[in-house]
Amino acid sequence: MSVIYYCTILDDANFFINQAKGLPVVPSANPLRDRYIRMGILCSWIALEEMLAVSIEEQGLSKAARRVSLRNRLDLALRTLRKASLDGDAFVQARAVRNCLTHPRGDEQPASLKEAVGVFNFCFGAIRDLFLNEVGVRL
């Protein structure tokens, strides 16, 4: 019997990104597209942190992962599973997109759909790497 992990917030990220993709290219759709993009990015990162916590708990690493940065927790979990570390450049790039939303300076442009898709793909890929079993997304 195989095990498949599902994460509701990852499903939400996928939903919001697909909603943004489906909007017509007209000026009146831009505010809604921006909202879907923001939610897709934020939900992707929330899903990654949530599933990282599950992976760490399942591996019995909770004590070792306390007070450690997100990047180091990811590396710890992946090392324990004997998997390669995440691409550092992809992590930094995806994190920068998220940080523009969570720590706004006021002079940034809204995130693009391409950036949202990149963040989702990075987070989903990282989540898949955190488990030995399959991770799925419901459409």
Using one digit for the tens of pLDDT, what is the confidence trace for 94-126?
999 999 999 888 777 889 999 999 999 999 999
**Domain membership of residue 21 as a residue range:** 4-136
pLDDT at 1 over 60: no
Nearest to 94 by CA among 58, 127, 59, 120: 120
> Predicted confidence band at 4 (pLDDT cuts at 50, 70, 90)?
confident
Over residues 39-71, the pLDDT tens digits come to 999 999 999 999 999 999 988 988 888 888 999
Separation CA 47–CA 50 (nearest Å): 5
Does the reported pTM lie above 0.85?
Answer: yes
Rounded-to-integer distance, Cα 33 and Cα 22, Å: 9
Q: What is the DSSP letter of 110?
A: P
Rounded CA separation 53/49 (Å): 6
